[in-house]
Amino acid sequence: MAVLAAAACHAGWNALLKLNVAPVVATVLVAVAAGLLVLPLLPITPLPAAAAWPYIVASAIIHVAYFVALAEAYRWGDLSQVYPIARGTAPLLTAALASLWLNEALGSNGWAGVIVLAAGILLLTVKGARKLAPFDHRAVAFALATSLTITAYTLVDGIGARLAGSALAYTVWLFIGDGITMAIYGALRVGPSLLKDFRAHWRIATAGAALSTAAYAIAIWAMTVAPIALVAALRETSVLFAALFGTVLLREPVLPVRLVAALLVMAGALLLRFR
């Protein structure tokens, strides 16, 4: 139930990236705001164990690539198309690598989930980013790049949180690291106008940061008490929330093929969860 709640939060902050703000600016603002939101927790949070720090640094760097790829994906594609592709492919890679690297083997249900997930992802390529529009390969390329970064940071954070001795400590320092690296990236990419953007859109940035922090804090905690592959898979039920938000909030076209594809991705994720 906690991970399902996190999935809803995650889809929610991704939906905010498509509201009135350029995706590149929005991702920077959300990451920086998330880093600021966790600062009050520092006095009551222990330092992570020394073994976890390389993972925190690595994850902060990977998250820059994640935010960049995600912003570009939303620049060219709809939430209800990009989100399922990015989130749907990540469990395939995560499960495979976790099986090889961490000996978290998949059973028959797990491999069935892989097949169903793949079917849902392939179905998403049938229809374009807009109704009656040709399929935008740039959106798909960046969505797939996003899935690679999701796989990387999921494995890094799953291991790092277990080594940290405290899921909260790892989460707090990870978001601080993310905020610092994304602030540097934003200053280089956006320039001085970033401060003006923050003043104009701080409400959206703060809301997105709160949802993002809650979503990933729950996931990090879950990965310390359950197999990483299972948590990663169950998180991807968020594709249904993304499809709902894309249709209701963003007025994206209601395409039956997208709904079927989202259901297949969710079914595959659940099969992985109950492998």
219 has a pLDDT exceeding 80 = yes
Q: What are the C-alpha distances in Å from 178 to residues 143, 209, 210, 212?
A: 20, 12, 14, 12
Reading the block at residue 86, the tokens are 């990015």
pLDDT at 13: 54
Say if CB 20 and CB 249 are below 8 A apart.
no
**Rounded CA gap, 249 and 120, in Å?**
23
226 has a pLDDT exceeding 60 = yes
Higher per-residue confidence, 99 vs 157: 157
pLDDT band at 10 (very low <50, low <70, confident <90, very high): low
Say if CB 42 and CB 207 are below 8 A apart.
no
pLDDT band at 194 (very low <50, low <70, confident <90, very high): confident
This prediction has a pTM of 0.76
Q: What is the DSSP string of 188-248?
A: HHT-THHHHHHHHHHHHHHHHHHHHHHHHHHHHHHHHHS-HHHHHHHHTTHHHHHHHHHHH
108 CB neighbour count, 10 Å cutoff:
9
Q: Rounded mean pLDDT of the chain?
A: 78
129 has a pLDDT exceeding 50 = no
**Rounded CA gap, 230 and 106, in Å?**
10
Higher per-residue confidence, 241 vs 24: 24
pLDDT at 12: 61
